[in-house]
Structure 1
Amino acid sequence: MQKELFLGIVNTLSARYEYFQLRTDAACRISLSPLQKCMIVVRQLAYGGTADMFDEYLQVGESIGRERLKNFCQGVRETFRDTYMQKPTVADCQFLLDLHGRTHNFPGMLGSIDCMHWEWTNCPTAWRGQYTTGFKGTHPTIILEAIANQRLWIWHSYFGVVGSNNDLNVVQSSPLFNQQCKGYYLADGIYPSWPVVLNTIRCPTSRKMAYFTEKQEAARKDVERAFGSKMKVKESQTSSMKTLLDQATVLQASFIVRVYHTTMMNVFRHLLTCAKPKPIMHSNVI
Structure 2
Amino acid sequence: MTRLPLLLSLSPLALAFSNTSPLVAWSSHSSSVLDRLPSTVADKHHSLQLLETILLNEDVCEHEAIVLIGQPGLHASDLRNLPSNSHVARSLSSAPSSRQYAYVPLPLPVDASSISAVAEAVSEKCGSRLVNMMLGQEGVAFSKDEKTIIILGMPELELDGDRKGRVMEHDMVLSTTLSSLPFTSHLTIFTGSPASSSLSFSKRQEGSSLVLGSALTDPSVSAAKKGGILHNYQLLTPALITTLLVVLFILLPVMYFGISALASIQNPIRLEAAPKGYNAAERKNQ
- Bigger Rg, structure 1 or 2: 2
Determine which structure has greater relative contact order: mean sequence separation of CA pairs < 8 Å that are 6+ residues apart, divided by chain length: 2
Provide the TM-score with structure 1 as the length reference: 0.22
Provide the TM-score with structure 2 as the length reference: 0.22
